[in-house]
Amino acid sequence: MSNSLTPLLKSLITASGLSGFETPVRSLIQAAWEPLADEVSVSRVGSLHALRRGQAPEPRPSILLAAHMDAIGFMVTAVVDGFLRFTRIGGHDPRVLPGQAVTVFGRQPLPGYIVQPPARLLPAHAQEGTLPMEFLWIDVGLSPAEVARMARVGDVVAFAQPPLDTASETLCGHSLDNRASVVVVTHCLELLHSRPHAWDVLAVATVQEEETMLGAVSSAYQLRPSLAVAIDVTHAAGPGSPAHRTYPLGKGPALGWGPNVHPRLFKDFKHIAESQEIPFSIEVMPHHSGTDAYGMQVAAEGIPTMVLSIPLRYMHTPVEMVSLKDIRRLGRLLAEFIAQLTPDYMTAFSWED
């Protein structure tokens, strides 16, 4: 079954689903999760909830696996003589943008490119150096009249870089942050299909992580799990990136450690990884983990949380790179952890000060 992970990931990164506009990708995830879950529903704000029941007698404890499905992108702010001005959704480095393929979701999807105007058409102060986003245009190749008919202010714009298979089972593309983690959760559910587990598993594809973490806080509140795990991407070591803030690509997932992580959960995940011979790094997160865990930890009366990450190069560019091996390993780590959860795990769950 796991050999279908790559096609699934490619389809997920090809589908649109910007923060606040996740519906297209959510329907694909729903189709992938329905055969693996007992109940699937959509939250009031658009997150996908899939429940896989455990075998312990009720009331059963539950573990929430949160992978945000939203992606960064852009939004049209003006239509001028057939060209589109735009602003950002999520965090972008403007230096990455000139020449990028995009899709403008107008009256119908319009393929186009982010373009940098020639220097002579710019104010003197913007002719050299990084061109700020407000001077860039999107060109969809249509006549001004067609553009005025097809596009308008507020249309969302997604990267359109096609998926690219690179060496040693790595994959490049946009939105691997965080569709790669959606595939991790899918893989975990697949593995649990043939493994008994006592706990309920709540797989959640959250919305709006890149903006407000709306999905994480609302789903954690609604589902009230005993434990919650945020699955996200972290920075992989690569060209130009500082060694002390990155983790090796293709050498296993990263286990988060810091204030957003319950130390007992960290310890138990680490133990499972070691006993299953799953290679891993330890990612230190001195403050905000930058993941859904930050929101889930303080939902309702508070939830013990863990952060597990896939190392990824070139985050928030259209050529993010992940290792499919890391995706499979992290799915396996989650499945092993869940399969080993006993019905009374929470009674012994404590601070060991």
Partner 1 sequence: MPQTKSTSLKIGAAQLRLLERLSNACAVSGDEGEVRKIVLEEIRPIADDVKIDALGNILAVKRGLAGGAPLLKVMLDAHMDEVGFMIIQDEGDGIYRFDTVGGMDERQLVGKSVLVGKDHLPGVIGAKAVHLTRPEERKTPISLDVLRIDVGPGSNKIKIGDWAVFATRFQRLGPSLVGKALDDRLGVATLIELLKHAPPNIDLLAAFTVQEELGLRGARVAAYALDPDLAIAIDSTPANDLPMWDGSENAAYNTRLDAGPALYIADSSTLSDPRLVRHLAQTGDALHIPYQFRQPGGGGTDAGAIHRQRLGVPSVSVSVPGRYAHTAAGMARLQDWQHTLALLHAALERLPADILSVER
Interface with partner 1 (CB under 8 A), residue from 121, 153, 282, 284: 121
Indicate whether 148 belongs to the interface with partner 1 (CB under 8 A).
no
Whose Cβ is closer to partner 1: residue 85's or residue 264's?
85
Whose Cβ is closer to partner 1: residue 95's or residue 271's?
95
Interface with partner 1 (CB under 8 A), residue from 250, 258, 279, 343: 250
Indicate whether 106 belongs to the interface with partner 1 (CB under 8 A).
no
**Which of these ranges, 51-59, 111-119, 217-225, 301-309, lies near partner 1 under the rule CB under 8 A?**
111-119
Q: How far is the CB of 19 from partner 1 (least distance, A)?
A: 15
**Which of these ranges, 20-28, 53-61, 108-116, 328-336, lies near partner 1 under the rule CB under 8 A?**
108-116
Q: How far is the CB of 155 from partner 1 (least distance, A)?
A: 16
- Looking at residue 94, what DSSP letter applies? G
Indicate whether 81 belongs to the interface with partner 1 (CB under 8 A).
yes
Q: How many C-beta atoms surround the C-beta of residue 121 within 10 A? A: 11
**Which of these ranges, 5-13, 195-203, 316-324, 326-334, lies near partner 1 under the rule CB under 8 A?**
316-324
Kindly write down the DSSP assignment for every residue of 149-204, as one continuous string: HH--TT-EEEE-PPPEEETTTEEEES-HHHHHHHHHHHHHHHHHTTS--SSEEEEE
Q: 95, 113 in Cβ contact below 8 A?
A: no
Q: How many C-beta atoms surround the C-beta of residue 165 within 10 A? A: 12
Q: Which of residues 212-241 bind partner 1 (CB under 8 A)?
A: 235, 238-241
Indicate whether 153 belongs to the interface with partner 1 (CB under 8 A).
no
Interface with partner 1 (CB under 8 A), residue from 129, 154, 196, 286: 129
Spatial separation of the C-alpha atoms in residues 24 and 65, rounded to whole Å:
21
Burial, 129: exposed, middle or buried (Cβ in 10 Å; 0-12, 13-18, 19+)? exposed
From the list 99, 161, 98, 102, the residue with the least C-alpha distance to 130 is 98
Whose Cβ is closer to partner 1: residue 32's or residue 321's?
321
Burial, 249: exposed, middle or buried (Cβ in 10 Å; 0-12, 13-18, 19+)? buried
Q: 281, 254 in Cβ contact below 8 A?
A: yes
**Helical axes 324-339 vs 176-192, angle rounded to 10°:** 40
Indicate whether 290 belongs to the interface with partner 1 (CB under 8 A).
yes
Q: How far is the CB of 14 from partner 1 (least distance, A)?
A: 14
- For residue 150, CA distances in Å to 83, 145, 159, 186 come to 12, 9, 18, 37
**Which of these ranges, 165-173, 213-221, 274-282, 339-347, lies near partner 1 under the rule CB under 8 A?**
165-173
Interface with partner 1 (CB under 8 A), residue from 165, 259, 267, 271: 165
| Binding interface with partner 1 (CB under 8 A) | 80-81, 83, 91-101, 110-113, 115-118, 120-123, 126, 129-131, 135, 137, 139-143, 146, 161-162, 164-168, 170, 172, 235, 238-242, 245, 249-250, 290, 313-319, 321, 323
